[in-house]
């Protein structure tokens, strides 16, 4: 069993302000300013956002999608449906980062480290080792046509991998990745306050080379693709939105365009087990393939994403006779 769903400790959320009713009114009013795209000239918008909404709604109507909480490969009974929460609303995070930015200016505080500093460090070091193994051809089970670009380009070093952190928040995961040797780093978040805080922390702590952009991963304006895409808690938050199932479909459609062929997606979650994430990816693959599967080619070679590895070193606990972890980190290979 990869893990048991376990929410963050109350203490981990103690600094976040619960928004008032007025805060929640403008959830769909994105705070992306038109001039934010002048930060990086090679980023632009060609994706049809309206079509993305239509595709996701169509997928839901077919009945082929199930929320991750419905998967029960390691449970006797499926979990109850995940209840929506303010943590799924942009207005919550806008209010949170307004407070955290004020705390930074007044006291120099970095803000909340989602999942905690220890988990963030584990994610960064494990991801670095995984990418090293891929770059050196040490990882078993990679199909010849599904290797990382660093393998195909013979000698491309780890520091040149371009990395995207979606829902970057205060950007501290990117700091840890920079310490591990990654240098081409970009963080996006739909909260302008988060990006303002992340940029100031990076400048203060000597990571001014990290690029930060205001961008909503569900309606991304990014055109480029990345060899490594990180998600630490963003899929969790998306699943807590009142339209969580719809937005999760939009998430996978968008992320599949952001990860380059042969690239890696690493998801860290406290609301999904490793098996649930794997099943959700399998469901996405099935939906994208539809009736276009080639019987001559193995299914795992046709899939857009396939399971690669997961962190096995997280502390575990016993509950109800089962052993599990509060956090799951899973890597998927983009074909």
The pLDDT tens digits for 185-244 are 999 999 999 999 999 999 999 999 999 999 999 999 999 999 999 999 999 999 999 999
d(CA 204, CA 82): 38
Q: Which residue has the higher pLDDT, 166 or 151?
A: 166
Using one digit for the tens of pLDDT, what is the confidence trace for 288-327?
887 565 555 555 567 899 999 999 988 776 666 666 678 9
Q: What is the largest CA-CA distance in the chain?
A: 63
Task: Give the SS3 label for residue 329.
Answer: strand
51 in a structural domain: no
Give the number of other Cβ atoms within 10 Å of residue 48's Cβ: 10
| Domain hosting residue 271, numbered range | 86-139+152-334
The tokens describing 124, both together, are 């960064």
Query: Average pLDDT of 100-121?
Result: 94
5 in a structural domain: no
Burial class (CB in 10 A: 0-12, 13-18, 19+), 38: exposed
Is 273 within 8 Å of 64 (Cβ atoms)? no
Query: Average pLDDT of 275-294?
Result: 86
Residue 4 has pLDDT above 50, yes or no: no
Residue 278 has pLDDT above 70, yes or no: yes
pLDDT of residue 194: 98
Residue 151 has pLDDT above 50, yes or no: no
d(CA 115, CA 12): 8
Nearest one of 90, 17, 64, 45 to 280, comparing CA atoms:
64
> Angle 325-329-130 (CA atoms, 0-180°, nearest 5)?
130
What proportion of the chain, given as a percentage, has pLDDT over 70?
A: 64
Q: What is the 3-state secondary structure (H, E, C) of 147-189?
A: CCHHHHCCCCCHHHCEEEEECCCCCHHHHHHHHCCCCEEEEEE
17 in a structural domain: no
Is 123 within 8 Å of 277 (Cβ atoms)? no
163 in a structural domain: yes
d(CA 330, CA 195): 26
pLDDT of residue 61: 47
> What's the Rg (C-alpha) of the chain?
19
Mean pLDDT of the chain: 76
pLDDT of residue 158: 79
Sign, CA torsion 269/275/278/282: negative
- The CATH number of residue 222's host domain is 3.40.50.150
Is 238 within 8 Å of 251 (Cβ atoms)? yes
19 in a structural domain: no
Please state the domain count of the chain.
1
d(CA 328, CA 49): 30
Query: In Å, how far from its chain's centre is CA 303?
Result: 19
Burial 113-145 (b: 16+ CB within 10 A, else e): bbbbeebbbbbbbbbbebbeebbeeebeebeee
User: Which of 114-118, 162-166, 324-328, 330-334 is the least confident region?
Assistant: 324-328
Using one digit for the tens of pLDDT, what is the confidence trace for 42-74?
333 333 445 545 554 454 444 443 343 333 333
238 in a structural domain: yes
Residue 79 has pLDDT above 50, yes or no: no
307 in a structural domain: yes
Using one digit for the tens of pLDDT, what is the confidence trace for 255-269?
999 999 999 999 999
61 in a structural domain: no
Using one digit for the tens of pLDDT, what is the confidence trace for 11-46?
443 333 434 333 443 444 333 322 322 222 233 333
Residue 246 has pLDDT above 80, yes or no: yes
Q: Which residue has the higher pLDDT, 178 or 158?
A: 178
Nearest one of 24, 23, 10 to 242, comparing CA atoms:
24
Residue 7 has pLDDT above 90, yes or no: no
pLDDT of residue 135: 84
């Amino acid at each position: 069993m990869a893990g048991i769903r376990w929410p963050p400790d109350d203490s981990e959320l103690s600094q976040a302000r619960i928004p008032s009713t007025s805060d929640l009114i403008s959830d769909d009013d994105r705070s992306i300013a038109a001039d934010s795209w002048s930060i990086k000239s090679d980023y632009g918008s060609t994706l049809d956002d309206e079509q993305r909404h239509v595709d996701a709604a169509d997928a839901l109507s077919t009945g082929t999608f199930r929320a991750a909480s419905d998967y029960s490969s390691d449970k006797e009974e499926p979990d109850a449906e995940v209840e929506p929460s303010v943590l799924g609303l942009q207005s919550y995070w806008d209010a949170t980062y307004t407070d955290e930015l004020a705390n930074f200016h007044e006291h120099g505080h970095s803000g909340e480290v989602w999942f905690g500093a220890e988990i963030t460090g584990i994610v960064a070091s494990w991801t670095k080792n995984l990418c090293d193994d891929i770059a050196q051809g040490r990882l078993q089970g990679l199909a010849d046509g599904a290797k990382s670009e660093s393998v195909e380009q013979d000698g491309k070093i780890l520091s040149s991998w371009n990395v995207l952190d979606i829902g970057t928040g205060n950007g501290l995961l990117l700091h840890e990745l920079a310490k591990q040797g990654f240098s081409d780093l970009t963080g996006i978040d739909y909260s302008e306050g988060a990006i303002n805080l992340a940029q100031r922390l990076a400048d203060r702590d000597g990571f001014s080379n990290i690029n930060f952009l205001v961008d909503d991963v569900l309606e991304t304006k990014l055109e480029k693709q990345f060899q490594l895409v990180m998600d630490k808690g963003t899929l969790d938050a998306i699943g807590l939105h009142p339209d969580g199932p719809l937005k999760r479909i939009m998430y996978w459609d968008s992320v599949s365009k952001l990860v380059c062929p042969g690239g890696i997606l690493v998801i860290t979650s406290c609301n999904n087990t490793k098996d649930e994430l794997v099943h959700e990816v399998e469901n996405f693959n099935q939906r994208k393939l539809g009736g276009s599967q080639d019987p001559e080619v193995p299914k795992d070679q046709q899939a857009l994403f396939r399971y690669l590895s997961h962190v096995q070193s997280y502390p575990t606990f016993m509950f109800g006779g089962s052993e599990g972890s509060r956090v799951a980190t899973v890597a998927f290979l983009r074909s």
